[in-house]
Amino acid sequence: MTTTHTTPATPGTSATPATDRDGWTLSHRSARHARDRADHPAVRCEDRVVDYAALHRWSNRLAHALLADGVTAGARVAYLGRESEHYYALVLACAKAGAVIVPVNWRLTAGEVDHILRDSGAEVLFTEREFRGTAERVRAELPALRRVVTTDVADGPDAAADPAPERDAGLRAWSADSPDDDLDPGTGPDDAVAQIYTSGTTGLPKGVVLAQRSFFTLPAAMAEAGVEWIDWRADDVNLISLPGFGIAGLGWFLHGFCAGATNVVMRMFFPQDAVRLIETHGVTTTFAAPAMLRMMLDEPGAGPETFRSLRKIAYGAAPISEGLLRRSMEVFGCELAQIYASTETGSVAVCLPPEAHRPGSPLLTSAGRACPGNELRIVDREGRELPPGEIGQVCVRAPSRMLGYWNLPEATAATLVGEWLHMGDAGYLDADGYLFLCDRINDTIIAGGQNIYPAEVEKQLSEHPAVADCAVVGLPDPRWGEMVHAQVVLRPGATATPRELMTFLHGRIADYKIPCAYHFADALPRNPSGKVLRREVRDRLQKSAG
């Protein structure tokens, strides 16, 4: 009995006109908006506004400057900084030059940044002044990295003291002498445009390579199927509240950009700022993690009138409680759509549509159904398809999926089997094709929408001289969704306090990955092959916490 579920309309097949796919590049869409929506605001960031015509010309100049600097087709260009119009102009410039943008998480340590730049082979790094020190620390050890350019304006007493030869008045000045005419990079929908780093069960960050089509297939399939589960409209005011170094932030911006919407970019998420921006700019749509929804709802004075402009909120990246979902439906007063995706899917894979968000509906515990053009199936350990109701590994077939992991053919083959992505999550399908998630096979911890991988934390924690063994798990947290906890076995005769372990990890991994609590034990539970049973560790700690 087959359990594969699909919603008709698959972009890129014979059902989709070839002329539609011809327009599935960011350079083509940028030129079209510059022609048809020249004066319409494309990006708002703080008090700055860039319209579509200006964004097109600016990114054209940047693309010409990249080419003049020796960047060739397929070359990797990195960005280390917070959200801004500079970043998204650079994303478009890379697409127009045929290069691949490599966004770097600004919260990472210098060692973690070094790995991403080294692994990607980035030739040019654009960085905000705030992170210039990190860039310079790693630069000397990276022979492929031949240039570091500061994106924001250099001013104040530090400007004259900055010895960097590329010090300038920002990204605009770096490309000021370049022409702004259109370029033809010779790229198509299936060519790489972004390389986003995400860790796996080994704890080593992997570069997920995404094609241009990743940002076009979902809207096309939704339109072809005649549904509006998730949609972006030209008259939308689209709030970008998640960081652009991940697929959630970058993807949400690019989907809004491709629709011709006004994209309100937050430099960093603060709930009070998000509530203010929604009310001030009349935000109509956004994507947020459940923890972010809770924080906005908890803001003093925030109520239905505050959010009256919203028409749709997409949420995901972590489980949502029934209470928070009920409160969101009541207070936000707009359509809600839950999404299930990963960096590897490139776009939304599964959606619980707005019409399923009814108080008391049993579907509210579901992740949703396969989006139009996508397919879902559940398989056992041998890859055999399972019938409805049986728990196994979630697999997704989606035209937006990744091209592969950068320089990791074995990891790519393990995750992308034929056209099917193996998601690393355990779940089951009901008879109607709704997906219910049970656990994360890869034990990923999701705190405030940020992925944290236990193996990476365990590797660093185990280097403490007093630590003999350790296991890192996520425990439920009402504010952040999950928080990182560590169970630690000390070496015979050794001593260590939670504060000492926390201090040891500072500077080794990003602060948000450091466990908030340390639980000491005589031994860790393991299976016969010696693998730590994280699920049992998690259950024990939850039980002891009451």
Question: What's the rounded Cα separation, in Å, for the pair 320 and 315?
Answer: 9
pLDDT at 210: 98
Query: Residue 378 pLDDT more than 60?
Result: yes
Mean pLDDT of 361-390: 95
Comparing 318 with 243, the larger pLDDT belongs to 243
pLDDT of residue 381: 86
Mean pLDDT of 409-435: 95
3-state secondary structure of 310: coil
Q: What is the pLDDT of residue 147?
A: 93
Q: Is the pLDDT of residue 158 over 50?
A: no
Average pLDDT over residues 235-241: 97
Helix, strand or coil for residue 527? coil
Please give the average per-residue pLDDT across 61-69, as a whole number.
97
pLDDT for the residue numbered 201: 44
Instruction: Quote the tokens at residue 483.
Output: 């928080």
Band of residue 7 on the pLDDT scale cut at 50, 70, 90: low
Q: Give the confidence band of 527 by pLDDT, cuts at 50, 70, 90.
A: low
> Dihedral (C-alpha) 122, 126, 131, 135: value to the nearest 10 degrees?
40
pLDDT at 13 over 80: no
Which positions ≥6 away from 205 have C-beta within 8 Å?
Answer: 112, 115, 116, 119, 197, 198, 199
Q: Which of 453, 445, 448, 454 is nearest to 478 (CA)?
A: 448
Give the per-residue pLDDT at 3.
Answer: 56
Interval 74-82 mean pLDDT: 97
Structure tokens at 194: 């972004």
- Residues 438-493 have pLDDT tens digits of 867 768 888 888 888 888 898 899 889 999 889 999 999 988 999 999 999 999 99
DSSP character for 23? T
The 10s digit of each residue's pLDDT in 307-324 is: 999 999 999 987 788 888
Global confidence as pTM: 0.85
The most confident of 208-212, 434-438, 450-454, 525-529, by mean pLDDT: 208-212
Reported as a pLDDT band with limits 50, 70 and 90, residue 153 is: low
Is 416's pLDDT higher than 80? yes
What domains are defined for the chain? 26-172 (3.40.50.12780), 366-440 (2.30.38.10), 445-544 (3.30.300.30)
Residue 139 in this model has a pLDDT that exceeds 60: yes
Distance CA 489, CA 520 (A): 6
Residue of 176, 347, 141 whose CA lies nearest to 254: 347
Query: To the nearest whole number, what is the mean pLDDT of the chain?
Result: 90
More confident residue, 12 or 132: 132
Cβ contacts of 427 within 8 Å, gap of 6 or more: 367, 378, 391, 392, 394, 435, 436, 437, 438
DSSP structure class, residue 214: G
In the predicted model, what is the mean pLDDT of residues 502-525?
Answer: 95
Q: How confident is the model at residue 205 (pLDDT cuts 50, 70, 90)?
A: confident
So what's the pLDDT on residue 530?
64
Q: Is the model's pLDDT at 270 over the cut of 60?
A: yes
Looking at per-residue pLDDT, the higher value among 499 and 159 belongs to: 499
What mean pLDDT comes out for the span 100-105? 97
The CB-based long-range contact list for 450-453 (8 Å cut-off, 24+ gap) reads: 450/512, 451/198, 451/199, 452/484, 452/512, 452/513, 453/199, 453/200, 453/201, 453/203
Indicate if the pLDDT at residue 135 is higher than 60. Answer: yes
Q: What are phi and psi of 303, to 5 degrees?
A: -155, -175
Identify the band that residue 77 occupies on the pLDDT scale cut at 50, 70 and 90.
very high
Query: Is residue 271 over pLDDT 50?
Result: yes
Matching residue, tokens 């991988």: 453
Q: At residue 236, does pLDDT exceed 50?
A: yes
Residue type, 175: S
Contact 467, 461 (CB under 8 A): yes
Report helix, strand or coil for 14.
Answer: coil
Q: What is the pLDDT of residues 26-48, one digit of tens each?
A: 999 999 999 999 999 999 999 99
Q: What is the pLDDT of residue 417?
A: 95
Q: Which of 7-16, 66-75, 293-302 has the lowest mean pLDDT?
A: 7-16
Strand pairing class (481-490; 467-477):
antiparallel
pLDDT tens digits, 161-173: 444 444 445 888 8
Is 533 or 254 the better-scoring residue by pLDDT? 254
* Rounded average pLDDT over 533-541: 90
Confidence of residue 360 (pLDDT cuts 50, 70, 90): confident
